[in-house]
Amino acid sequence: MPRRSEHSLDEIRALALDAVEDLVASHGPTAISARKVAAQIGYTVGMLYHVFDNVDDLVLQANARLVDQLARANEAAAAGNRPQRVIARMAHNYLSLARQAPARWQLVFVHTMRDGRPVPDWYRQRTDRLFALVEEQLQRLAPRRRPAAAALAARTLWSSVHGICLLAVSDKLDIGGSTSAEKALDSLLTHYLGSWAQSR
């Protein structure tokens, strides 16, 4: 039975985002539909579309919570340490988050916009912030290198870290078996950053 007037729109928004997280945790990252989320919180689909533009908006707002959680952890890691150490902490924060909430974490990557629409600017700004945090540390590590070099290195490292975390979480390719994800992350960062900082 749909509820009426029990919550403010902001509260309905928060309930719906919690419901996305619960559904994904229980049934995997492809389990989201407006109908299921509405049913879970006891409101109509019409009310859901009063609060969110569409399903993409609902999923992106849920994903933004995770992106922001990582950004906060990475900002805390940035305080007063050597840049190599900071980047290593950021990578391990990423792994912790992937392990802690594997399905929610995968939703960030599994989600694609309906009808080939572009990702909205507000969301892109949130993910850009994550890259900017890594680029800042790379610039501290090698102040003379150009911003374009730091941008490429940040994206190379980020995708590499993502691959290691993904294979660790999904228990593939022997990462997690005899090779631990932690060792692979440390090996990646030691060698990549060691060489990158010294090249021109």
- Alpha-carbon torsion (102, 37, 110, 50), positive or negative: negative
Does 26 engage in binding with its own copies (CB under 8 A)? no
Does 76 engage in binding with its own copies (CB under 8 A)? no
Does 115 engage in binding with its own copies (CB under 8 A)? no
Task: Give least dist CB 22 to its own copies, A.
Answer: 21
| Half-sphere exposure (Cβ direction) of 119: Cα atoms closer than 13 Å | 16
Closest CB to its own copies among 120 and 194?
194
Task: Give least dist CB 109 to its own copies, A.
Answer: 6
Helix (H, G, I), strand (E, B) or coil at 179: strand
Does 5 engage in binding with its own copies (CB under 8 A)? no
Contacts of the segment 181-188: beta carbons below 8 A, 24+ positions apart: 181/95, 182/92, 182/95, 185/88, 185/91, 185/92, 185/95, 185/161, 186/88, 188/91, 188/157, 188/160, 188/161, 188/164
Q: Residue 22: in which H helix or E strand, if any? A: helix 9-27
Find the binder of its own copies among 2, 53, 68, 109 (CB under 8 A).
109
Task: Give least dist CB 4 to its own copies, A.
Answer: 37
Task: Give least dist CB 152 to its own copies, A.
Answer: 6
Only one of the segments 10-18, 73-81, 87-95, 156-164 lies at the binding site for its own copies (rule: CB under 8 A); that segment is 156-164
- Integer Rg of the chain from CA: 19
Residues that bind its own copies in the complex, under the rule CB under 8 A = 30, 109, 112, 127, 131, 151-153, 155-156, 158-164, 166-168, 170-175, 178-179, 183-184, 187-188, 190-196, 199
